[in-house]
Structure 1
Amino acid sequence: MKRKSIFFVTIAFIAGYILGKQLDQKQKLKPENVLKMVKTKYQKQYEVSGSWIYMKPELYQKNNIQYDVYHGGITKQIDGKDIPYEFFVDAYTGTLIEIFPQHG
């Protein structure tokens, strides 16, 4: 009976370890890193004069798909004018979901 208990405890420990590793792989990116990725991408084409990002992810829906996203913005210089843009980036993959001129 004691061997069975040790066997089941060992199996439970291994299963918990594997599950924990899988959960670690599904962590959100740091918002600072997301902002840096967006800025780097757009600095190749435009001069970026400002940027911001919300630190807490939010839900965002596009094409009937719901994402956990970081919402942020950059200011690009185009033809000598500062044009503010907003963006939404997938919080897990860093994929740019949408970028558009800021309203207002």
Structure 2
Amino acid sequence: MDWKAFVAGTFAGAAAGHLLYHYVLGDSEISGDVILENVKDAFKKEGPIEGSWIQLKKQHYKKYAIDTYVYHGGITAIREGEKKQFEFIADAKTGTVIDIYLT
């Protein structure tokens, strides 16, 4: 085997491994817009919604053993014939809703 081919193959393998790690296996985050759409879809299953919002700037969140970055958002929905406003906190990395509360 030619040493030039070996070196070229080594560099190509290292570059592919780097890309695989950072774009497939590395830490990725879900956008705030996607999280808001998921929460809206869940609320629509229980009735109509009138409005929604999300802060696209992540904030640090620590409560007991949970230490992460989150998005804050809200939904205005019609429930029991009245407008009710809900706020939610969702994990920025996984998109999981950590808390929903009535305001």
Q: Same fold (TM over 0.5)?
A: yes
1:66: which partner in 2? 67
TM-score by length of 2: 0.78
1:6-85 to 2 correspondence within 5 Å? 7=6, 10-25=9-24, 26-85=27-86
State the secondary structure of the residue aligned to 1:15: helix
| Structure 2: stretches of 5+ with no match in the other structure | none
Task: Work out the number of aligned pairs and report it.
Answer: 100
Query: What is the CA–CA distance in structure 2 between the aligned matches of 1:55 and 1:42, rounded to whole Å?
Result: 20
Query: What is the CA–CA distance in structure 2 between the aligned matches of 1:65 and 1:10, rounded to whole Å?
Result: 44
State the secondary structure of the residue aligned to 1:17: helix
Query: What is the CA–CA distance in structure 1 between the aligned matches of 2:70 and 2:16, rounded to whole Å?
Result: 28
CA RMSD in angstroms comes to 2.2
2:87: which partner in 1? 86
Moved over 6 A (4+): none
Further displaced range: 69-78 or 14-23: 14-23
